[in-house]
Amino acid sequence: MAGYAVRRLLAAIPTLIFVSFVTFGLVRLAPGDPVLIVLGGKRISPELMEQLREKFGLVGDPISQYLAWVGRAVQFDFGESFKLRQEVGDLIVARLPTTVELIAMSVLLAILLGIPLGVLQARRRESAVDYAGSFVAFIGVSSPVYFTAIIGILVFAVWLGVLPAFGSGDGPVDQLRHLILPAVALALGMIALTSRMTRSAMLEVLTSDFIEAARAKGLPERTILVKHALRNALIPVLTVISLQVGFLVVGTVLVESTMGLGGLGSLITDAIQNRDYPVIQASVLLLTVLFILLNLFTDLLYAVIDPRIRYT
Amino acid sequence: MIVKLASTLPAPARYRLFLRRLAAAPLVRNRAALLGLIVLIPLLLATLVPWLLTNADPIAQDLSNSLLGPSAAHPLGTDKPGRDVLARVIYGAAPTLLGALVVVVVSGVVGVPLGLIAGYYGGKREAAIMRPLDALLAFPALLLAVLVVTTFGRGLETVVLALGIIYVPAMARLVRSVTLVQRNQAYVDAGRALGYSDRRIIFRHILPNLVGPVVVQSTIDLAYAILDIAALSFLGLGQQPPDPDWGSMLADGRSYLLQNPLPAVSAGLAIMIAVICFNLVGDGLRVQLDPRERGR
Amino acid sequence: MMSVLSPWQRRLGVGAMAVFAVAAGLPAAGLAQSETPQMGGSLVAVIEGEPTSVDPAFDYDFVSGLATSSITEPLIKFCEGDTQLCPNLASAWTVSEDGLTYTLTIRDGVKFHDGSDMTVEDVVFSLDRIRDPELGSYVGWMLDSVADVTAPDDSTVVITLSQPDALFEYALASTAAHVVSKAVVEAAGADYGTPSVGSIGTGPFKFVEWTSGVQQKLARNDDYWNKEDGGPYLDEITIKILPEPTTRVAGLDTGEIDYLVNNVPSDQYATVEGFDNVNLTFAPSFYGEWITFNTQEAPFDNVKVRQALNYATDKAGLRALYWPGTPDTKATLVYPSMWTFEQDAWQAAWDVLPAYDQDLEKARQLLDESGVADQLNGMTISYYESTPSMKGIAESFIDSMSQLGITIEANKTTYQENIAQQFGNHDDYDIFVGSWGSDFPDPSGNLRPNFGSENIAAGGSNASAYSNPDVDALLVEQNALVDKAERAKLLIEAQALIAEDSPLISVSNPGWPLAVNDRVHGAEIGPLWYWASLFKDVWVSE
């Protein structure tokens, strides 16, 4: 399994090169002088502008600029943010925990709410519960994150006053309270997809022969449902969840700035807005790495859940 | 993975089977999908002939009638510069829905041939096509769209093209996997043995099997494309003002949510309803076209 | 009863009371609050984006100053509604007759937060540091006319200018003249002012921590040198970062936000007004929003077209919609708030300035006379939505032009394009919605950057590409004068020429909003709040 993981990671290298090259190309094709933008109308002498260009590695042809960037990036040196005057590495390290917490909480919500809902729907197929669940799922999948986030603030913070409107809170309990609204807004679509996927996977498994056999053996329904059916249904569900985490990462971009959470998402949106090349390049690359690792993690998890799957 | 039609039948028969499945046991029995279709009618009218649904001008301002509540003249009230919200919701359908349609068409026009070639020929051609597409898939999608749009200029056209390209890999992968299954069927080998050209095999035997999955995927993609277009316009990258569009209406409207929630909520609900409709119809189609799902 | 008054009227009311209080020799604060200030407590302020730095050398925006100007302090400061200059770290200063030599007496017994004494070496080091091109300070240009800084004795600093500069004095009250500790800055090197190192100054509050993207924390400096006339009172200040306007408003309502300066969204004033627990007030500003075009390119090189567009714009309607109660504007960027000297002369000039109130008939007539109106058809108006009103101005302009039978299209730009347009070569837009606010309480701070032809080239802020040799001569001449009456005369002359040429459509002069929770007292801002130490006299009642 270790060999498999290593091979997968090696195979990711061309992808990373591709992604970093495209990102590099796109930010540099964009019109406007980044130095002028960073300065935002601040009065600076032409000599100083030239000096900044040099400092930011904006001199020379784009290809050598890119190679210079790659050369430093492989040593984990991502340069200094144009705008924020800090090392990009430091910035990312400072911002990452918030985003990871947000995503972890959303995934947790999706698992804790989505899977039981799907199992329930599958068991009571075509009952009122099933229809209601499907309906809720459709609403969940169809809600724009930025809309639900704002409506959430309006309802739970302003009208009902039960949850904080924004920010990240002090101390674990307070932090958790602050994470509820953004995580729910973010997780809504994922909860819906997870329940849909669980439902259909469960239906498939429940009609299969070995479940019939288990029933015939007189095993209690609960054991059949959880130990046999769910276990087998989990693989497609996990696939959907892990694929969804990729979307969550993007969702955080929209939720973080709305909710005043200083995570990676808001760092990236600000960076794109300010044409902060080093931050854009490093964070897009980081997200891609996360995405790749996540996929690998899912594949390895399959083997744990289903002993029939082996990677060599 | 989603659809396996009776591949051994000759092509015309398979088309007929496809059509029968679509029409007969049909959607009509799937109440949710039917509901989706019914709600789509006004949405389509709003997209194609908005002037039939409202007399109000979606662009004309009336600064003295800012943020009015609902009235006979303005059923959904007015927005900040005093424009009729209902008219803006109705006229806002076209950029979002037609935009989503273009996204899906682009992804299909590019993705289907690529997936077909990759799946059918395999080998180097497959690697040459799928490697870059897989890399594209590893890109955080919306961020890529934002980057592309800020680079090549804001506006609906750029947004739609960017999303169209971003949707290609998923479509190509789907087509490739279906093609792969078909290619290994006995009838393809038989066809080859009989000296049929690749072209004939692809067009007469494989393509018909793709119609179902592609239609289902496209319908579901439509729903996602609506959400994505709205998100980009919400970020101010899509349709340019003063022309109405749901995403930007939502973005504008949230500023005075506490004063008058109607403009934002109307736009938000319009997005949700459109997305739900396409999801329902897509789901219905899937059930209809997937023999495994039909019994359930 | 409160709701009958617009926020603006309320502000004027408060202003009038303050004037009365000064006239009667009463302490102004006494009228505003009868209770005595309380020590302790904490306050949550909110800014809309990540600060650039807490190093004053890089504080030249609207978000970095809340922390920076509480930590480090300038040599002198703006006072009396930011129209005058008062002593601060320099207890006195004199200017030589020729306007070339500034002699500052540096206050004794001022300590940095680390307990070390502030010395004249620190002052000289701080000014030289800002001037050093290697540092690349964002406020370095303010000290451009400085030739030399010396410290002849332990309490005197002498600044010599290379040429007389009417605006130089103001630079001494900006972040360009904040005093930093030589030892600390040299030890920190390039990391000075970043979240990991922070900053050390003499100010009323000390840097505690800065969590990137989340918040900055400050704590009271108990050894503050100037505690006689008030605070610091607050134990702790948290400055949180919150980009989403609607969430900021929600946070005011829920009481999670105590203090919001400037970034109260302008289209939600009415909503904030309605909150029982929040006081919204406005300070006058030197800031304005306007529409312009490149006056060197057809058809905008035609004065009739420019005047027609000015007449076409519904300035009063926009002001009523976005800034109810704000003063009317006329065809100038010198707003009444900026008449910091020779007020009568400015008033007399104002009375005869054209206002170009909306008059579509006149606009139509002027366009017909120009004979080039058809060139306007299909042009775009570029704007960046830094505030909702920028978009409102563009949309209203489009609407007005359509009433004249001319189609103008909107071009919503990104922040970077906006910057490139306003400060680039000024050839990449047809019509441009922009804004500007002088950094000094001086009319030339709005006239020269926007209308001086030396600011047309890339990097300059003359977005109209306006070039009038007569105006240039007047603007340059006044800058070298010390006599304020003479300066006013020349500036007023330039203003009249500009108004006639109509290179720019002056739409509004909005006030700076300040929204504070009920429990917050002693919060006051002026037109130049972003240079000010905002929290020194603020206290909270629990």
ipTM more than 0.85? no
Per residue of chain C (542 residues), what is the pLDDT tens digit? Answer: 233 333 333 333 333 333 333 333 333 333 344 578 888 899 999 998 888 889 998 888 888 889 999 999 999 999 888 888 999 999 999 998 888 899 999 998 899 999 899 999 999 999 999 988 888 788 888 888 899 999 899 999 999 999 888 888 999 999 999 999 999 999 988 889 888 889 999 999 999 999 888 899 999 999 998 888 788 999 999 999 888 888 888 889 989 999 999 888 877 888 888 899 999 999 999 999 999 999 998 899 999 999 999 999 999 999 988 888 788 899 999 999 999 899 999 999 999 999 999 999 999 999 999 988 889 998 999 998 878 889 899 999 999 999 999 999 888 887 767 877 888 778 888 999 999 988 889 999 899 889 988 888 777 788 899 999 999 999 999 988 888 899 999 999 999 999 999 999 999 999 999 999 999 998 989 999 988 899 999 999 87
Whether A141 has its CB under 8 Å from any CB of chain B: the answer is yes
pLDDT tens digits for A156-212?
A: 888 888 888 877 777 788 888 888 889 988 888 888 888 888 888 888 888 777 778
Closest chain A C-alpha to B36 CA, distance in angstroms: 11
CA C429 remoteness from chain centre? 25
Specify whether the CB–CB gap between A36 and C424 falls below 8 A. yes
Per-residue confidence (pLDDT) for residue C18, from 0 to 100: 33
**CA B279 – CA B284 distance, rounded (Å):** 8
Q: B40, B41, B74, B80: which is closest to B57 by C-alpha?
A: B74
Spatial strand order in the sheet of C379-383: C408-412, C379-383, C431-437, C287-293, C504-508
Q: B91, B161, A260: which is closest to C46 by C-alpha?
A: A260
Instruction: Report the DSSP pairing between strands C408-412 and C379-383.
Output: parallel
Instruction: Report the DSSP pairing between strands C146-153 and C156-161.
Output: antiparallel
From chain B, pick out residues whose CB is under 8 angstroms from the CB of A19. Answer: 135, 138-139
Q: C111, C113, C74, C88: which is closest to C200 by C-alpha?
A: C113
Mean pLDDT for B90-115 is 93
Does residue B104 register a pLDDT over 90?
yes
Does residue A258 register a pLDDT over 80?
no
Inter-chain CB proximity C318 and B242 less than 8 Å? no
Closest chain C C-alpha to A143 CA, distance in angstroms: 19
SS3 A55: helix
pLDDT tens digits for B200-249?
A: 888 888 888 888 888 888 888 898 899 889 988 888 787 777 788 898 88
Q: A293, A281, A308, A227: which is closest to A22 by C-alpha?
A: A281
Per-residue confidence (pLDDT) for residue A3, from 0 to 100: 81
The angle, 0 to 180 degrees and rounded to 10, between the axes of the packed helices A88-109 and A277-305 is 40
Straight-line distance from the first to the last Cα atom of chain B, in angstroms, rounded to the nearest whole number = 17
Closest chain C C-alpha to A210 CA, distance in angstroms: 53
Q: C150, C138, C137, C147: which is closest to C168 by C-alpha?
A: C147
Instruction: Give chains near B: 3+ CB pairs under 8 A.
Output: A, C
**CA C271 – CA C265 distance, rounded (Å):** 10
Specify whether the CB–CB gap between A251 and A145 falls below 8 A. yes
The reported pTM is 0.81
Burial pattern B126-164, b for ≥16 Cβ within 10 A else e, equals: beebbebbbbbbbbbbbbbbbbbbbbbbbbbebbbbbbb
Mean pLDDT for A39-66 is 76
pLDDT tens digits for B139-167?
A: 777 788 888 887 887 788 889 999 999 89
Whether C343 has its CB under 8 Å from any CB of chain A: the answer is no
What is the number of alpha carbons within 13 Å of residue C478 lying toward its C-beta? 25
Per-residue confidence (pLDDT) for residue C23, from 0 to 100: 34
Task: Please give the residue that has the higher pLDDT: either A252 or B226.
Answer: B226
Chain C, residues 384-413, CB within 8 A of chain A, namely none
SS3 C70: helix
With a pLDDT cut of 70, the percent of chain B lying above it is: 88
CA C56 remoteness from chain centre? 16
Instruction: Give chains near A: 3+ CB pairs under 8 A.
Output: B, C
Per-residue confidence (pLDDT) for residue C14, from 0 to 100: 33
From chain C, pick out residues whose CB is under 8 angstroms from the CB of A158. Answer: 250, 253-254
Whether C418 has its CB under 8 Å from any CB of chain B: the answer is no
A-B interface: how many C-beta pairs under 8 angstroms?
102
Task: Please give the residue that has the higher pLDDT: either C204 or A274.
Answer: C204
- Mean pLDDT of all residues belonging to chain B: 81
The letter for the amino acid at C40 is: G
Specify whether the CB–CB gap between A255 and A265 falls below 8 A. yes
- Candidate from A128-137, B4-13, B234-243, C147-156 with smallest mean pLDDT: B4-13
Element (H or E) spanning C93, and its range? Answer: strand C90-95
Q: Which residues contact C535 (CB under 8 A, 6 or more apart)?
A: C43, C45, C66, C70, C204, C205, C218, C231, C232, C234, C237
Angle at CA of residue C417, ends C414 and C418, nearest 5°: 85
From chain B, pick out residues whose CB is under 8 angstroms from the CB of A32. Answer: none
Per-residue confidence (pLDDT) for residue B18, from 0 to 100: 59
Closest chain C C-alpha to A158 CA, distance in angstroms: 6
Task: Please give the residue that has the higher pLDDT: either A159 or B107.
Answer: B107
Per-residue confidence (pLDDT) for residue C1, from 0 to 100: 28
From chain B, pick out residues whose CB is under 8 angstroms from the CB of C391. Answer: 241, 252
Instruction: Tokens for A268, please give them.
Output: 């990236």
